[in-house]
């Protein structure tokens, strides 16, 4: 197992957290902090069987911590401003924005193969988003990347470029990884309004259809005599509105009384 392979899970986790935050996911600061520390412990455990590899992990750990702190503090997380910096808690380093590049320059001046392995990791960190004190100086950052590329070799450079491109695309992919509960609530509310309006419309149509003959009879009563209108009518109460004979008779009496009252009420012309 190489040094880069040991460091890769932590790099991938930070990139994935950034992607989820960009997509609108709400990440818990405590959960992220715990998972990062767990992955750091795993890195050390995987290198424990090889003293040389364990020493390399210890050397690369500080740049890795600077990378994690930078990506979270400068990222789209709700807890970015309150992040407990690993650099301060683990190494008493307040900020790694400049020191990361001091370490990078030191590794570039070291011609050993071990330094080259560490440069591969740092090159990956730069490619996945770390810019530190060069955040507003993209040309200088590009120059650092080109120098690193000369050390890691052409084949490794191509592999890293491909891998970095995939991870940068994932880190900046704003497509939602989940359906926001707020969007779902709005959709349910809108559907409820539509169904309620439809139910009221259908209920009104059913009522008008069921009472059509009764309303026709009332119209006839307004134009004919009450007794004649009732005799000529073929109206039967719908099953759902049907009353017993006593109630039906009472209804007819009400209609007759109403018509008699209207006949006895003088019109405007008669009063004059």
Q: Confirm if 46 and 6 have CB atoms less than 8 A apart.
A: yes
Mean residue pLDDT of the chain comes to 79
Mean pLDDT of 240-267: 60
The fraction of the chain above a pLDDT of 70, given in percent, is 68
User: Thinking of the domain 3-172, which architecture would CATH place it in?
Assistant: Alpha Horseshoe (1.25)
pLDDT of residue 19: 92
pLDDT band at 178 (very low <50, low <70, confident <90, very high): very low
pLDDT of 116 above 90: yes
Task: Compute the distance between CA of residue 4 and CA of residue 121 in angstroms, rounded to an integer.
Answer: 5
Entry pTM = 0.59
Q: Confirm if 63 and 125 have CB atoms less than 8 A apart.
A: yes
Mean pLDDT of 57-80: 94
**51-60, 141-150, 160-169, 233-242: which is most confident:** 51-60
Give the count of beta carbons closer than 10 Å to the beta carbon of residue 112.
9
Domain ranges of the chain: 3-172, 181-265
Through-space distance between the first and last CA atoms of the chain, rounded to whole angstroms: 113
Give 19-31 pLDDT, tens digit per residue.
999 988 889 999 9
Task: Compute the distance between CA of residue 165 and CA of residue 161 in angstroms, rounded to an integer.
Answer: 6
pLDDT of residue 171: 47
Mean pLDDT of 237-244: 51
pLDDT of residue 24: 87
pLDDT of 101 above 60: yes
pLDDT greater at residue 83 or residue 236: 83
Query: How many Cα atoms occupy the beta-carbon half-sphere of 48 within 13 Å?
Result: 7
């Amino acid at each position: 197992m190489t040094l880069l392979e040991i460091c890769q899970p932590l790099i991938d986790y930070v990139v994935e957290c950034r992607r989820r935050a960009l997509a609108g996911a709400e990440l818990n600061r405590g959960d992220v902090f715990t998972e990062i520390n767990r992955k750091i412990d795993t890195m050390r455990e995987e290198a424990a069987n090889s003293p040389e590899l364990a020493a390399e992990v210890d050397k690369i750990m500080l740049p890795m911590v600077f990378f994690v702190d930078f990506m979270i503090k400068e990222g789209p997380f709700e807890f970015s401003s309150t992040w407990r910096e690993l650099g301060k808690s683990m190494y008493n380093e307040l900020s790694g924005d400049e020191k990361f590049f001091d370490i990078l320059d030191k590794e570039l001046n070291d011609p050993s193969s071990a330094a080259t392995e560490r440069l591969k990791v740092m090159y990956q960190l730069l490619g996945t988003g770390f810019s530190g004190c060069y955040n507003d100086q993209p040309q200088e950052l590009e120059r650092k990347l080109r120098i690193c590329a000369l050390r890691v070799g052409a084949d490794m450079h191509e592999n890293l470029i491909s891998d970095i491109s995939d991870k940068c695309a994932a880190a900046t992919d704003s497509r939602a990884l989940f359906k926001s509960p707020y969007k779902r609530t709005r959709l349910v509310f809108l559907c409820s309004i539509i169904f309620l309006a439809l139910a009221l419309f259908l209920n009104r149509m059913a009522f008008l259809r069921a009472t059509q003959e009764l309303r026709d009879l009332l119209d006839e009563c307004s134009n004919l005599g009450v007794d004649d209108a009732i005799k000529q009518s073929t109206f039967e109460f719908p099953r759902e509105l049907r009353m017993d004979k006593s109630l039906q008779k009472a209804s007819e009496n009400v209609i007759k009384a109403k018509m008699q009252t209207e006949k006895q009420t003088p019109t405007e012309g008669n009063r004059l």
